[in-house]
C-alpha cells in the first residue's frame, strides 16, 4: 500500500509538472472521464465541465480541427495506427484557445474487434507551438523548461559546431551534469541503432531545410536500453533568415511508454484464459501468412471448441463454466509445444497456430495427443467433470488468405462434430 501511495504521488507530480491531464472515454455511451489536471490546464471550473462527454469535447475543439480528430480516431480504430495522436486547439476559460497534444490508445475491444474504450493524456503544448511560430530562441528554451519541468534541452551552434546541454538532458541520458556533452562522434551510442538513424536523418533535414521534427527515441547507456525520450527539434534562424543553429528539447517518456505497452498487451489478451483474444489471433495469423509467403514454408491451424459446453453452463452455472474454460486453456498449454500459439476467440472457441512446418506424421501425433488430453476430467466437482473437444485441422496451401483458411478449418470442425464429437477431423492427415 505504501508503495502504491508513493507511485500515485509521483504520478500526480509528473502530471502537475508536465501539464498533462488524463482522460478515459467509454465509446459505447459517449461518457468521458477527465481528471483535475485536464480541467485545470484549460482554466475551467470543475462543476461546469463534469459530467463530460465526447459531444462536449468536440464542441470545445476548434472547428478546423474536428475532422483531424475524427480521422485520427478512425485510423486507430481500424488498426491503421498504433495509437491516436493529434495536435489540436481546445477552447478553455474566457474563450482562450489552448494548443493540446492529444494522445490515446484503445484499451478495450469487443470480441469482433469493435472499440469499446479509449484512454489517454492531453498535454498542453500551447507555449511551445506559439514560440515555434515566433522563433524566440531564449524564451522558447526558458518557457519550455518552466512548462514541462524536468525537460532536457540542447542547442547546436552551426557556426562553431558547439553543442550545449541542459542539466536535465545529462540526467535523462544517465550522465554526470558537471561534464561536457559527449563528443558528436559518440552520440550514436546514446540511442538504439534504429533511433539514431531516424534522429540523424531528421537533424540533417532540419539543418539543410529548417524542417522541424518530433521523434520518440530509445535511449541507450553503455550498450543497454535506458529508457524512452520524446525529442523535438527546430531550426533557429538569423534576422536575415539563414539557419544558424538547432534547438532541441527532450522529455523522458519511459513511464508513458511502459503504460502504453501494458495497455497494448491488455487490448490483445483474453482476461479469463490469459490467452490471446480474437484481435491478437487475427494479427498473428496475418503475420504468419506473410512470413510463410516470404519464406516459402507452411503452417497448420487447429480450430476447436468444447463439446456440449452449453450443458456445462446450464447444469453447473457460469462460474463452473468459466473455471472449465481456464482449465481448457491450461491443458492446451501443457499439451502443445512452447512455440505453438493458442488463442481464445470467443465463448468456448479456441484456435491453435502451429507455425513451424512439420511432416504429416508429426501433425497426426499432435492431433491425437490433443484429443486424448481432454478425455480425462478437467475439474473435480461432486463428480469429475470431463469436457471433450471437437477440432478441425488444416494446413495452409500456400495461396489462401486468412478468410479462406479459417473457412476450411471451420468446415473441418463441423465434420468432427457431425461425426459424433470428441475427435479431430482433417483432410491433411
Mean pLDDT (the chain) is 87
Give me the pLDDT at residue 79, please: 93
The neighbour count for residue 169, using CB atoms within 10 Å, is 21
The string of DSSP letters for 34-66 reads E-HHHHHTTT--HHHH-SEEHHHHHHHB-GGGH
Over range 330-353, report the average pLDDT.
Answer: 91
* pLDDT, tens only, 204-251: 999 999 999 999 999 998 889 989 999 999 999 988 888 999 999 888
What crossing angle do the helices spanning 318-335 and 309-316 adopt, rounded to 10°?
Answer: 140
Confidence of residue 10 (pLDDT cuts 50, 70, 90): low
In this model, does residue 428 exceed pLDDT 60? yes
Residue of 59, 104, 69, 107 lying closest to 84 (CA atoms): 104
How far apart CA 356 and CA 247 sit, in angstroms, is 50
Over range 162-167, report the average pLDDT.
Answer: 86
Give me the pLDDT at residue 90, please: 94
Give me the pLDDT at residue 175, please: 87
Confidence of residue 367 (pLDDT cuts 50, 70, 90): confident
Give me the pLDDT at residue 238, please: 87
Give me the pLDDT at residue 149, please: 58
In this model, does residue 102 exceed pLDDT 60? yes
In this model, does residue 133 exceed pLDDT 80? no
**Locus of grid cell 540511442:** 191
Helices (H), 182-335: 193-209, 254-267, 278-295, 309-316, 318-335
CA 142 to chain centre: 33
In this model, does residue 294 exceed pLDDT 60? yes
Give me the pLDDT at residue 4, please: 47
* pLDDT, tens only, 387-407: 899 999 999 988 899 999 999
- Which residues does 251 contact at the CB level (< 8 Å), separation at least 6? 18, 148, 150, 151, 152, 229, 230
* 97 within 8 A of 64, measured Cβ to Cβ: no
Over range 20-46, report the average pLDDT.
Answer: 93
Confidence of residue 34 (pLDDT cuts 50, 70, 90): very high
In this model, does residue 56 exceed pLDDT 90? yes
* 353 within 8 A of 344, measured Cβ to Cβ: no
Give me the pLDDT at residue 147, please: 41
Give me the pLDDT at residue 239, please: 84
Give me the pLDDT at residue 53, please: 95
Residues recognised as catalytic: 348
Q: Mean pLDDT lowest for which of 116-130, 148-162, 191-205, 371-385? A: 148-162
Q: Which three cell numbers stand for residue 339?
A: 512455440
Confidence of residue 3 (pLDDT cuts 50, 70, 90): low
Which pTM does this prediction carry? 0.47
Over range 131-139, report the average pLDDT.
Answer: 59
Give me the pLDDT at residue 348, please: 92
Amino acid at each position: 500500500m505504501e508503495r502504491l501511495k508513493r507511485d500515485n504521488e509521483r504520478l500526480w507530480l509528473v502530471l502537475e509538472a508536465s501539464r498533462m491531464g488524463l482522460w478515459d472515454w467509454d465509446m459505447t455511451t459517449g461518457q468521458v472521464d477527465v481528471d483535475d489536471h485536464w480541467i485545470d490546464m484549460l482554466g475551467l471550473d470543475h462543476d461546469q465541465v463534469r459530467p463530460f462527454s465526447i459531444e462536449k469535447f468536440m464542441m470545445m475543439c476548434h472547428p478546423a480541427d474536428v475532422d483531424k480528430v475524427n480521422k485520427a480516431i478512425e485510423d486507430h480504430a481500424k488498426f491503421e495506427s498504433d495509437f491516436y495522436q493529434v495536435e489540436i486547439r481546445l477552447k478553455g476559460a474566457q474563450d482562450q484557445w489552448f494548443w493540446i497534444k492529444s494522445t490515446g490508445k484503445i484499451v478495450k475491444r469487443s470480441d469482433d474487434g469493435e472499440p469499446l474504450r479509449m484512454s489517454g493524456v492531453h498535454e498542453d503544448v500551447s507555449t511551445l507551438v506559439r514560440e515555434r511560430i515566433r522563433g524566440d530562441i531564449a524564451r522558447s528554451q526558458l518557457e519550455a523548461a518552466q512548462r514541462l519541468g524536468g525537460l532536457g534541452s540542447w542547442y547546436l551552434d552551426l557556426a562553431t559546431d558547439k553543442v550545449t546541454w541542459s542539466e536535465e538532458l545529462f540526467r535523462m541520458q544517465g550522465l554526470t551534469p558537471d561534464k561536457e556533452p559527449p563528443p558528436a562522434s559518440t552520440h550514436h551510442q546514446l540511442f538504439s541503432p534504429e533511433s539514431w538513424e531516424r534522429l540523424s536523418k531528421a537533424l540533417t533535414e532540419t539543418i539543410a531545410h529548417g524542417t522541424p521534427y518530433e521523434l520518440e527515441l530509445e535511449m541507450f547507456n553503455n550498450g543497454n536500453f535506458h529508457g524512452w525520450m520524446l525529442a523535438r527539434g527546430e531550426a533557429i534562424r538569423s534576422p536575415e533568415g539563414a539557419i544558424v543553429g538547432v534547438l532541441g528539447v527532450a522529455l523522458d517518456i519511459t513511464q508513458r511508454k511502459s503504460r502504453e505497452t501494458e495497455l497494448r498487451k491488455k487490448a490483445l489478451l483474453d482476461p479469463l484464459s490469459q490467452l490471446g483474444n480474437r484481435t491478437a489471433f487475427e494479427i498473428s495469423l496475418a503475420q504468419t501468412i506473410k512470413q510463410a509467403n516470404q519464406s516459402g514454408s507452411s503452417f497448420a491451424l487447429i480450430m476447436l471448441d468444447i463439446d456440449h459446453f452449453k450443458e456445462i453452463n446450464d447444469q453447473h452455472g457460469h462460474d463452473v463454466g468459466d473455471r472449465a474454460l481456464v482449465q481448457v486453456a491450461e491443458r492446451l498449454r501443457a499439451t502443445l509445444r512452447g512455440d505453438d500459439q493458442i488463442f481464445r476467440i470467443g465463448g468456448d472457441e479456441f484456435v491453435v497456430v502451429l507455425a513451424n512446418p512439420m511432416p504429416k506424421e508429426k501433425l497426426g501425433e499432435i492431433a491425437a495427443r490433443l484429443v486424448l488430453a481432454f478425455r480425462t476430467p478437467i475439474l473435480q466437482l461432486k463428480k469429475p467433470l470431463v469436457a471433450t473437444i471437437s477440432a478441425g485441422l488444416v494446413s495452409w496451401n500456400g495461396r489462401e488468405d486468412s478468410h479462406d483458411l479459417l473457412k476450411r478449418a471451420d468446415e473441418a470442425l463441423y465434420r468432427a462434430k457431425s461425426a459424433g464429437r470428441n475427435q479431430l477431423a482433417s483432410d491433411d492427415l
